[in-house]
Amino acid sequence: MDPVINPSDPDWATISDQYKNIDTKSFRQYELACDRVKQFYEEQHELQTVAYNIQARINFKTKTRARMTIWEGLEKLNKLLDDSDPDTELSQIDHALQTAEAIRRDNRPRWFQLVGLIHDLGKLLYFFDSKGQWDVVGDTFPVGCKFLKKIIFPDSFKQNPDFFNPLYNTKYGIYSKHCGLDKVMLSWGHDEYMYHVAKKSSTLPPEALAMIRYHSFYPWHQEYAYSYLMDEHDKEMLKAVKAFNRYDLYSKTDQLYDVEELKQYYLELIDEYFPDKVIDF
């Protein structure tokens, strides 16, 4: 098994040669996004309340939605088109392989490659407990404190009842200064869901779990919002999440991989870090 990379290693901050000539500004152009994307965020921002998030976590802890292998989960996920993504209309397994293969080309550790493969696997939630796509996909953000302007389409939060609740609409809300993101409720969706599944069922290191949990928390890892809630551990994890984000975002191209050709490699990789082939989702 690979040793855990030290997130303070300069390699974490080095942009891959794969992306040195890429037009990074062409990604996440939400002002140019289609109506489908804008309507998604209007719904998400209205409905992601503290009350909903508490209940979603209770539901997660008290029931098993399915038992399957990681690969079976990837195959099932292939039926979902993410309404929140302005950058790709490829299938979920195509994006998973694009991300994993980009990480593999840069000779990152095997656990890092596995994160590329499974980081969006929590979107399986759509087929189980979801109310739609608004509680599965999209950028994530804290609930229980003030919604910041650095979240995309921030004005749509005015439809959220928590926006006017004095318990939740202050800087810290129900949290405290530098309490640590482990103590913060992020909007419920595929990141949070898969983080808990992987934490329980895998031997992945903390950096990998942070990549899974925070990869959609763009206000934090790209805009440095909510830094006043971070503790020292979060500062180290932020470096890892930013390193992963480049692969997640910039690997979205038209290049497709032969799933069957790569399947055996990734099955062996899954077995390294998920001791039980069949896991609880």
Binding site per annotation, positions for substrate: 28, 82-84, 123, 138-139, 215-216
Residue 96 · residue 117 · CB < 8 Å: yes
Binding residues: 28, 82-84, 95, 119-120, 123, 138-139, 190, 215-216, 248
Closest to 204 (Cα-Cα) out of 126, 259, 279, 136: 279
DSSP state of 142: B
* CA distances in angstroms from 180 to 99, 183, 231, 268, 277, listed in the order given: 28, 6, 5, 35, 33
Closest to 48 (Cα-Cα) out of 202, 122, 153: 153
d(CA 265, CA 114): 11
Binding residues for Fe cation: 95, 119-120, 190, 215, 248
d(CA 80, CA 195): 20
Structural element, H or E, at residue 92: helix 92-105
d(CA 52, CA 187): 9
